[in-house]
Amino acid sequence: MKGSTKNKLLKIVEGIQAAERSYRVVTRKSIVEKEAIVDEIKKLLTTYKTLGVVSLEGVSARELAEIKKSLSSYGVVKVLKNTIVTRALRELGLPSLDEFLNYLTGPNLFVFTNLNAFMLANLVDRIVVLRYVKPGEKAPADIYVPEGPTGIPPGPMMSVFGKLKIRTMVREGIIWVAKESKVASAGDVVPPELASLLRKLEIKAYPVKLSIKAVLDEGVVIPADKLKLDIESFKKELLTAVQTSRTLAVETALPLPEVIPEIIIRAHTKAVNLACEIGYVTPENINIVFGRAISKAQTLAIALMQKHPELNIPVTTQPVVTTQPPQEVKKPTEEEEKTEEEEKEVSEEEIAEGISSLFG
Q: What value does the mean pLDDT take over residues 94-116?
A: 89
271 in any annotated domain? no
The b/e string for 184-218 (b: 16+ C-beta within 10 A; e otherwise) is beeeeebeeebbebbeeeebebbebebebbbbbbe
Distance separating alpha carbons of residues 70 and 194, to the nearest angstrom? 30
Considering the domain architecture, whether residues 104 and 151 belong to the same structural domain is answered as: no
Considering the domain architecture, whether residues 84 and 224 belong to the same structural domain is answered as: yes
Q: Answer yes or no: is pLDDT of 338 > 60.
A: no
Considering the domain architecture, whether residues 105 and 152 belong to the same structural domain is answered as: no
Considering the domain architecture, whether residues 203 and 108 belong to the same structural domain is answered as: no
Considering the domain architecture, whether residues 155 and 121 belong to the same structural domain is answered as: no
CATH of the domain at 54: 3.30.70.1730
CATH of the domain at 147: 3.90.105.20
Q: Could you give the number of structural domains in the chain?
A: 3
171 in any annotated domain? yes
307 in any annotated domain? yes
Considering the domain architecture, whether residues 104 and 223 belong to the same structural domain is answered as: yes
**pTM of the complete model:** 0.55
Considering the domain architecture, whether residues 149 and 289 belong to the same structural domain is answered as: no
Print the SS3 string covering the chain: CCHHHHHHHHHHHHHHHHHHHHHHHHHHHHHHHHHHHHHHHHHHHHHCCEEEEEECCCCCHHHHHHHHHHHHHHEEEEECCHHHHHHHHHHHCCCCHHHHHCCCCCCEEEEEECCCHHHHHHHHHHCEEEECCCCCCECCCCEEECCEECCCCCCCHHHHHHHCCCCEEEECCEEEECCCEEEECCCCECCHHHHHHHHHCCCCCEEEECEEEEEEECCEEEEHHHCCCCHHHHHHHHHHHHHHHHHHHHHCCCCCCCCHHHHHHHHHHHHHHHHHHHCCCCCCCHHHHHHHHHHHHHHHHHHHHHHCHHHCCCCCCCCCCCCCCCCCCCCCCHHHHHHHHHHHHHHHHHHHHHHHHHHC
Q: Answer yes or no: is pLDDT of 84 > 50.
A: yes
Which of these three, 155, 178, 208, is where a domain ends?
A: 208
**What would the pLDDT profile of 127-158 be if each residue is shown by its tens digit?**
888 999 999 999 999 999 999 999 889 888 88
**What would the pLDDT profile of 40-75 be if each residue is shown by its tens digit?**
999 999 999 999 999 998 888 888 898 888 898 899
283 in any annotated domain? yes
Distance separating alpha carbons of residues 258 and 207, to the nearest angstrom? 46
Q: Could you tell me the residue range of the domain that residue 317 belongs to?
A: 279-359
241 in any annotated domain? no
Considering the domain architecture, whether residues 99 and 17 belong to the same structural domain is answered as: yes
265 in any annotated domain? no
248 in any annotated domain? no
Considering the domain architecture, whether residues 222 and 84 belong to the same structural domain is answered as: yes
Give the side-chain half-sphere CA count within 13 A for 133.
29
Confidence of residue 213 (pLDDT cuts 50, 70, 90): very high
Considering the domain architecture, whether residues 179 and 328 belong to the same structural domain is answered as: no
**What would the pLDDT profile of 252-287 be if each residue is shown by its tens digit?**
888 888 889 998 998 888 888 888 888 888 887 888
Confidence of residue 317 (pLDDT cuts 50, 70, 90): low
Q: Answer yes or no: is pLDDT of 349 > 90.
A: no
CB 197 within 8 A of CB 163: no
Burial grade of 327 (CB within 10 A; 0-12, 13-18, 19 or more): exposed
Considering the domain architecture, whether residues 286 and 335 belong to the same structural domain is answered as: yes
222 in any annotated domain? yes
Considering the domain architecture, whether residues 284 and 321 belong to the same structural domain is answered as: yes
Distance separating alpha carbons of residues 165 and 154, to the nearest angstrom? 16
